[in-house]
Chains A and B, each alone.
Chain A
Amino acid sequence: MISQVFILSSQGDHLIYKDFRGEAGSDVVNLFYEKVTALTGDQPPVVMRHKDVHFVHVRQGGLYWVATTTADTSPFTIIEFLNRLTALVKDYCGSLSERSVQMNFALIYELLDEVVDYGYIQTTSSDILKNFIQTEAVSSKPFSLFDLSNVGLFGAETQQSKVAPSSAATRPIQSSRDQGGKSEIFVDVIERMLVVIGSNTSLLSLSCSHPSEMRIGLNEEFSIGKSQLRGYGAAVRVDECSFHQAVRLDEFDSLRILRLCPSQGEQTVMQYQLSDDLPSAPPFRLFPTIERDNGGRLLMYMKLRCDLPPKRSVLDPTRLQSFSSELNLSQELSSPDQSAELQPQSRAVVWKIPRFPGGTQLSALFKLEVPGFSSASMLEVGPVSLSFELPKITATGLQIRFLRLSPFQPGPAQRWVRYVTHSDSYTIRI
């Protein structure tokens, strides 16, 4: 049972406030913000209490999404609800930010009114909700040069038009109503790597603007669980796999085909996990050398190698951090477009690499002046964490073989498939 729902910006501005049961006053909003700001650090606990009021909050898009409730409520339900609410707002408003929430507050009030009645969750299915929601979304589209580059000279087809911009899927689902029935389907295969020793969680998500039945084919060699015999060749194996409830699996066992009738908006079709051994080598390898020079300085020589096939470049800036407590930093990097800085707050050296083509190797030498340096301080150096985004690559090797729509589809549909591997936590011990 949810008593109130409110959305706060990170500065504490009230964006949305809705009281469902009239049991507590609206002063709880300020109370919540006081509690959050009173804590040191930027990570308040998920559940906080003030007398009989329990605050459960979720942070998404830089905003606090808070529900107040009683002690005996299921935290799984409340948190799942708040997450679902953020997903709905994202579907309806296009993106999730303070600005988009502010611009679409009427829409969000309308959504909340339909989703929750008297503190009880009624429905969160976007299929049902779209019949009730009347307000049009106001989308905040930042001007981007990339959109211009899509227009070919004299209307000619350019290579660019075969690639959708990465923000293509983030737009309000309702605006597609007046685009003359042109339907688009975006399938994202997103893998998140959690590497210390090596485990991996991923999800296959789908965002769709016009519902129709479709079939997604996965690799034929796809297998689940460890017990199954592994043949020769590059079989794709995951440990655990769960599907969205709308997915029909009658062809999955024999042909590895998922059949589903997606609703508008974004949904996670399949979630899979793989622990321990990755089928491919980890994408980055680091060869660190750490020593003291006779001036009492700490020398860190880092050699970073990207083991991806050549031509595949890593788009996102790679950041590399290592912990240590020191004061002065001087550096020698292998290329001028990289940069490195010392962050005294987190006691880390951050090395930013804007572009890192596959099959190459980069190196950096950091010299750190540490007051009161002793041999024990060497223990404090490390670990090194990398954050990156690898486009067009999945660590497990999962591929979408095909994406077929049912033959009764009214119009032609645009289909986009995207593969991304994120680093959730890629840590290398020194």
Chain B
Amino acid sequence: MPYIGSEDTVRDLRRVLSNPNVQSDQLRYRNTILKVIRAMSQGVDVSGLFSEMVKACATVDIVQKKLVYVFLCSYATLNPELSLLVINTLRKDCQDPNPMVRSLALRNMTNLRLPSLVEYVEQPLTAGLRDRAACVRRVAVLGWAKLHNLQTNSEIDAAVVNELYSLLRDPDPVVMVNCLRALEEILREEGGVAINKPITHHLLNRLKECDIWGQCEVLRILQRYRPQSEDELFNILSLLDVSLISPHPPVMAATLSLFLSLCSGLPAVGLAALERVRGPLLAACGNTSREMQFTALCHIQLLLRSLPGLMGEHYKRFFCGYAEPAYIKQRKIEVLVELVNDDNVAILLDELRGYCTDVNISTAHAAISAIGRIGRSYSDKCLEILTELLGLKQEHITSAVVQTMRDLVWVCPQCSRTVCSAVEGCEAEIQDSQGRHALLWLLGVYGEQVSSVPYTLEVFIDGVRSEASVGVKMELLTATVRLFLCRPAETQDMLGRLLHYCIEEETNMCVSDQALLYYRLLHCGIEETRKVLQCRRSDPSLGVLIGRPAEPINQWSYIFNTLEPLRPGAIETDDALTASVSAPLSLSLSPALSPEEFEDLWLQQQCPTIFRCSPQSLQAAMQLVNIQTLAFTPPHTLPWRVYLYTNTQNKHSADTCHGTLILGELLVKKNTAEKGIKVTLKQQPRDEKALKGFLSVLTTVLHALSSE
């Protein structure tokens, strides 16, 4: 941003700088230089003062020296020839008895970033590596890295690399860490600094001497190390345990990263480490700095992908504060969705409902769609809240609620009745295209259940000329054709008008092509159209009801402690990516369960009536006895399946709480001659008695249901 009159400023400054009276008065001289730097950081181009500033460099006043160096380092690349004049002063300073002056000169010599100066810099740098003062060695070590990056294609000097390796044993921890950093840059082509056993053990032993920044660096570089034996691995892990629960979030995160990379072959150890960092991570969520809270939240989301139950009992820590910024609130809402369980669902929904009327619109939307996500497992309570929100008659809330309901119905078709009665008559409030898109989809698919649909669609069709959104027009076409299939008498006329408009007048190719497609389809006859449009969904398979299955840690460990999780929407996009890749991986884990199969244990006389109750009532009944139904096929499909699981707890042994996990599948085959249910159970670990108990509980529940 060039300032008005910047040339005048520079001219004035030059005059003052070259005034011998000013030069002899140290304070005035320094103040003038201050003015130059101030102008520089405000964006004024003061490069014209370079030669005057070079002169000002030769002084005993350290403050003035530092200021001049700030200037010189910023403009050296523009004036390579004049910079040569500085190098003499700098080389003289490198001989100064004061170590502070020596380190200052050395640092700025390398910061000039001029390839032409390299030959003058090498000698002082070599001397700097052997300096008595640690602060000079620190600068010299990094100086070699800077020098290397100035001339990347030149040969690597083996003597320097050896010297740097030997300086890993320097008594000063910062020099040691700087050596690692420098070697990492110099040897980048060869894959960085060599991490072998002696170096690793040396670094680990000196970890305690470093400050937190040094520790983070060492831990990061050690990620490349592969221990040679299991004993060694566990020795390292137990050594690192202290830093895993460090109160400093950077150290904790770096240690966990190292843990995860060391234990990539031992998932159980990795999970234990995740449990261990729960405390420090939660503490970071309560940090005074909002930005740190946000970082911790984003990483908690990662951890939850592998250990969904990790934060279950701490759900209150994720309630939003009133004055928190929107980006924190939205992450907290995402975390809260993951933490829902039978015990806290009422409290969580109550809390989330409070966020739905947030002043920030995107936070309100996040809360509404969170309620929709929870609705996949607790549909009744959530639909109640969503319906209530429609009553507010606020434009953006209604739109978000309708979109959420559409997504919910797609996953849980059993909610359709409630949704249909709720969305009736809310078309007036929805203005944005996303919301109308969702509403049209709902009206099209469930046209027979809502009596007023033809009137609503007619309003849309009358206004199609002024409709801007292509998506809404396409959806309108589909919805009208769908409605025509179930209510032909009321819809025929308006469908005709719509098709006519779209084919004859519409300028958007997508819309007119779609209209032509439907037109030709209708020519083929009603039955054909019905087959195409109302055919069963291509994927009638199971919708998973509760949460996501736990992912293995190595799905996300490579992005842990990077900027990736903090990016907006990082979690969602990642899901889509990994879903396709992860399938073979997640399969490979299942043999760990070592299942025991009990097939056909169920005899048909135990359950004489055919089991035809609604999924909700089954789910509710099962929940009463602490059996969780996880997934089921949509009703009226054959064979009809339900998947469930539970944990048995052995209450007799007081000291330890041993439980076994039972997984079950109920299979209803109506077509088979003997009407009944086939139950397949898998259990881990094996416990005959618990299984018997479980079967009797299950039988009781099913009997109670079928007798209704």
A binding-site residues for B, Cβ under 8 Å? 13-17, 19, 22, 30, 41, 43, 45-47, 49, 54, 56-59, 69, 71-77, 79-83, 105-106, 109-110, 113, 117-118, 120-125, 131-132, 134-135, 192, 194, 196-197, 199, 201, 203, 240, 242-245, 271, 273, 275-276, 321, 323, 325, 346-348, 372, 374, 376-377, 379-380, 383, 385, 387, 424-427, 429
Contacts and interface: CB of A to CB of B under 8 A. Distances in A.
Contacts of A348: 359
Nearest to A82: B291
Contacts of A275: 314, 316-317
B321 A424 contact: yes
A113 B1 CA distance: 24
B289 interface: yes
Given A75-B295, A79-B292, A113-B107, A242 B34 contact: no
Contacts of B178: 117, 120, 122
A72 B558 CA distance: 10
B213 A197 contact: no
Contacts of A110: 63, 66
Q: Pick the 9 closest A-B CB pairs, nearest first.
A: A425-B321, A376-B391, A242-B247, A43-B325, A385-B322, A121-B213, A201-B286, A76-B250, A77-B250
B326 A43 contact: yes
B66 A45 contact: no
Nearest to B323: A425
Interface string B381-394: 00000001001111
Contact of B254 (A49, A74, A244, A376): A74
Contacts of B283: 240, 242, 271, 273
A76 B562 CA distance: 9
A30 B254 CA distance: 32
Contacts of A121: 213
A100 B617 CA distance: 66
A122 B135 CA distance: 10
A383 B42 CA distance: 45
B556 interface: no
Contacts of A273: 283, 286
A43 to B, nearest CB: 4
Contacts of A49: 567
Nearest to B150: A22
B424 interface: no
Interface of B: 1, 34, 37-38, 41-43, 62-63, 66-67, 70, 74, 77, 100, 107, 113, 135, 138-139, 142, 145-146, 174, 178, 181, 211-213, 216-217, 220, 247-250, 252-254, 257, 279, 282-284, 286, 288-292, 294-295, 298, 314, 316-317, 319-327, 351, 354, 357, 359-360, 388, 391-394, 561-568
A38 B34 CA distance: 34
Contacts of B63: 106, 110, 134-135
A72 B566 CA distance: 12
A14 B1 contact: yes
A105 B142 contact: no
A117 B142 contact: yes
A323 B504 CA distance: 50
B167 to A, nearest CB: 15
Contacts of A118: 142, 145-146, 181
B319 A196 contact: yes
17 contacts: A17-B41, A22-B77, A74-B561, A75-B295, A76-B284, A77-B216, A80-B212, A80-B248, A113-B66, A117-B139, A123-B174, A125-B211, A135-B63, A348-B359, A372-B393, A376-B393, A379-B391
A271 B249 CA distance: 13
Given A76-B253, A113-B107, A134-B63, A203 B316 contact: no
B80 to A, nearest CB: 14
Contacts of B298: 75
A134 B564 CA distance: 39
B279 A76 contact: no
Contacts of B295: 46, 75-76, 79
B220 A427 contact: no
Given A75-B295, A76-B284, A374-B393, 7 more contacts: A74-B250, A74-B253, A123-B174, A135-B66, A242-B283, A374-B391, A385-B323
A285 B100 CA distance: 59
A123 to B, nearest CB: 6
The secondary structure that dominates the B interface is helix
Nearest to B185: A118
A199 B316 contact: yes
Contacts of B288: 192, 203
Nearest to A58: B291
B293 to A, nearest CB: 10
Nearest to B34: A106
A80 B359 contact: no
A123 B211 CA distance: 8
Contacts of A81: 213
B357 A380 contact: yes
A79 B289 contact: yes
Nearest to A347: B359
Given A75-B561, A197-B316, A199-B317, A80 B292 contact: yes
A201 to B, nearest CB: 4
Nearest to A276: B316
Contacts of B325: 43
A343 to B, nearest CB: 10
A248 B34 CA distance: 43
Contacts of B314: 275
Contacts of B391: 374, 376, 379
A22 B568 contact: no
Contact of A323 (B174, B359, B388): B359
B554 to A, nearest CB: 17
Given A43-B327, A113-B107, A275-B317, A120 B359 contact: no
B44 to A, nearest CB: 10
Contacts of B359: 323, 346-348
Given A199-B317, A201-B286, A120 B561 contact: no
B67 A106 contact: yes
Contact of B566 (A46, A59, A424, A425): A46
B88 to A, nearest CB: 22
Nearest to A125: B211
A323 to B, nearest CB: 6
A105 B291 contact: no
Nearest to B30: A106
B567 A429 contact: no
A132 B34 contact: no
B291 A13 contact: no
A333 to B, nearest CB: 22
B439 to A, nearest CB: 19
Contacts of B324: 425
A243 B320 CA distance: 26
Contacts of A132: 100, 135
Given A43-B325, A197-B316, A73 B41 contact: no
A275 B359 CA distance: 27
Nearest to B290: A59
* B138, B257, B321: most-surrounded residue (chain A CB, <10 A): B321
Contacts of A69: 563
B211 A71 contact: no
A323 B292 contact: no
* B41, B135, B289, B325: most-surrounded residue (chain A CB, <10 A): B41
Contacts of A383: 322, 354
B27 to A, nearest CB: 12
Contacts of A43: 325-327
Contact of B113 (A22, A240, A429): A22
Contacts of B321: 194, 424-425, 427
A49 B357 CA distance: 31
B36 to A, nearest CB: 11
A304 B529 CA distance: 66
A426 B321 CA distance: 8
Given A43-B326, A323-B357, A197 B319 contact: yes
A242 B319 CA distance: 22
